[in-house]
Structure 1
Amino acid sequence: MAVVNYRKADVNGFNIFYREAGAQGAPKLLLLHGFPSSSHMFRDLIPLLADRFHIIAPDLPGFGQSDMPARDKFAYTFDNIADVIDRFTDKVGFDCYAVYVFDYGAPTGFRLAVRHSEKITAIISQNGNAYEEGLSDGWNPIRAYWLEPSAANREALRAMLKPEATIWQYTHGVPDAGRVSPDGYGLDNFYLARPGADEVQLDLFGDYKSNVALYPAFQDYFRTHKPPFLAVWGKHDPFFLPPGAEAFKRDIPDAVVRFFDTGHFALETHAAEIAAAIRDFLPR
């Protein structure tokens, strides 16, 4: 059994919680989670890879066990989140690493790749989008807020923060919902219920438009550097559609794209299959 350590790093006064496993000298793998989760989403994947990789999985700022400072002390934008995680990788000695990105972890990780292409050895994207065709109609309420950031449009997005919405994200598109442990969405709902967490998430819904604006820059990075790329995708994802996964091959012809019969949180049902795909892919 892999030993997983639970630590915190002080990143210029910002405490970032992270999980760490594997030998220090092994190839490095950074795992970046998404909304509304935390590094807890990697609880099944980490033990399946720790014999081969030195793994670090942080909680993003404002998520999980990492600091969630007040909004007047820290602006919750994806640029700022990427800045903190960039400094975090320096703090933990990740100077050259493969990165696994999911959901919000994708615009975070892709920003790091654009800034530091020399540090990125490979990218694994699990339902982490970088193309307009990957965005489903499920984004329409958030798009409305981008176009008109009114109080009414912001208020309308609160439905996406309700406990039943989190459960739906975990179970939608899963052929057998009985395979989805309630631990994941139960923990996410606990974190979402913290005072102020709702406003943080609404800020990030609004700022997600900055990620779409950066899609051309991300795609230029893919075309220019052609990092080894593996897409592992829950094909029934209600937010990020399969064409978004296929689109990576347009800029990285050698990209490997794998689809799994599950939804957005593919690791909840297919951790073993995704781990096997990673183990097969990264040595190449």
Structure 2
Amino acid sequence: MITIPYLTALTTYFSYGLLFAFGQFRDFFRKIFDWWHASNLEGYAPICLGLEDFYTRRLYLRIQDCFGRPIASAPDGWFDVVERYSNDNNKTLKRTDKISRCLNLGSYNYLGFTAADEYCTPRVIDSLCRFSASTCSTRVEGGTTTLHKELEECVANFVGKPAAVVFGMGYVTNSAILPVIIGKGGLIISDSLNHNSIVNGARGSGATIRVFQHNTPSHLEKVLREQIADGQPRTHRPWKKIIVVVEGIYSMEGELCKLPEIVAICKKYKAYVYLDEGSQLWGCGKNWKRRM
């Protein structure tokens, strides 16, 4: 039985394929028309080439009104969208004075802080006046403020750890932390659908990387057992450290990680679990608190 997410994906790919086929069909007749009405202009190179030009003309321009929509209010849960129109088949869009009230379903504003809030807004304004919008420097070179230290102490107390470190963005967190906690001689076993930030962090660590089937604890156990038995490549020495990397909620699929089963397997084989929770990073596994 086909579920709704898979049905949606199939219809999306079918629609995209249909647009692609009709676009190629129209381009074929366009070439014939241009052959009969050859241009005398010389010395002008096309701005875009190949599929890039095709995508812009035949696909993106038809639906560009879906992207970059101007708004006339704070990007809250509900916001005002400025309506636009086109007289040249969506090549250019012109704004109108009409405004539509729309539900915001495509934003990172999870906690609603982009809109005016009687508690948060005054404190944000006060922080901007005292610290500015950016430190214009990395933290190691002078970009650390008292706010960073207060936040790290708060996070450490909340999770019950002696210390915590705060990064400016989630992508950098994964790509910078993994090379620190594991290196050459270590093994990273990554979920096949992990975020690209995890992939880049794993590659930059120098550790050996193996992949297990998405959210499948049984396959994870099989990979763990095989890798522990084989050891490091060529030398077959035991691994210095083994880390299993998963996400709490897979951002592209919206699926929950089978964390209890994965943690149980990692404890069985004495491996670490690196859990990416989007806005938080948690370490759990065999003796994780003691070793960290």
Tell me, yes or no, whether TM beats 0.5: no
Q: Relative CO higher for 1 or 2, CA cutoff 8 Å, sep ≥ 6?
A: 1
Q: What's the TM-score once normalised by structure 2's chain length?
A: 0.26
- Which structure has the greater CA radius of gyration? 2
